Amino acid sequence: MGLAARASRALDPPTSSSVAEERTPLLPPCTLLAPLAEAAAWEPLPSSLPRRRKACLLAHSSRTAARQPAQHGGRAIPDARSISSRSCKHLGNRAAGGATEARSGSMTIMLRPALRVDAKGERLRLLEVHAHPDDESSRGAATTAKYVAEGVDVIVATCTGGERGSILNPAMDRPDILANIADIRRQEMDRAREILGVRQVWLGFADSGLPEGENPPTLPEGSFARTDLSEAVAPLVKVIRSFQPHVMTTYNESDGGYRHPDHIMCHKISVAAFERAADPDAYPELGAAWQPLKLYYSFTFHRERTAALDRAMVARGLESPYTERLRQWPEDAKHAARITTRIACADYFSVRDRALLAHSTQVDPDGPWFAIPLEVHKSAWPTEEWELARSLVETSVPEDDLFAGIAGSAASRVPA
- Beta partners for 118? 407
Q: What band does 210 get if pLDDT is binned at 50, 70 and 90?
A: confident
pLDDT for 327: 95
Contact 244, 4 (CB under 8 A): yes
CATH superfamily for domain 16-210+218-302+382-412:
LmbE-like (3.40.50.10320)
Residues near 359 by beta carbon (within 8 Å), at least 6 away in sequence: 133, 134, 137, 185, 188, 189, 192
Q: How far is CA 290 from CA 71, 173, 247, 320, in A?
A: 19, 44, 12, 46
Indicate the pTM of the whole model: 0.76
End-to-end distance of the chain based on CA atoms, in angstroms?
A: 28
pLDDT for 111: 54
Burial of 35 (0-12, 13-18, 19+ CB in 10 A): middle
pLDDT for 259: 82
Cα-based torsion angle of the residue sequence 162, 163, 164, 166 in order, rounded to the nearest 10 degrees: 80
Taken in order 130, 133, 138, 141, is the CA torsion positive or negative? positive
What pLDDT digit, counting tens, does each position of 371-404 carry? 999 999 999 999 999 999 999 999 999 999 999 9
Mean pLDDT of 137-155: 97
What pLDDT digit, counting tens, does each position of 251-275 carry? 999 865 678 999 999 999 999 999 9
pLDDT for 76: 52
pLDDT for 63: 29
Q: Which residue has the higher pLDDT, 314 or 165?
A: 314
Instruction: Assess whether pLDDT exceeds 60 at residue 336.
Output: yes
Gap between the Cα atoms of 62 and 15, Å rounded? 7
pLDDT for 16: 28
Gap between the Cα atoms of 371 and 246, Å rounded? 36
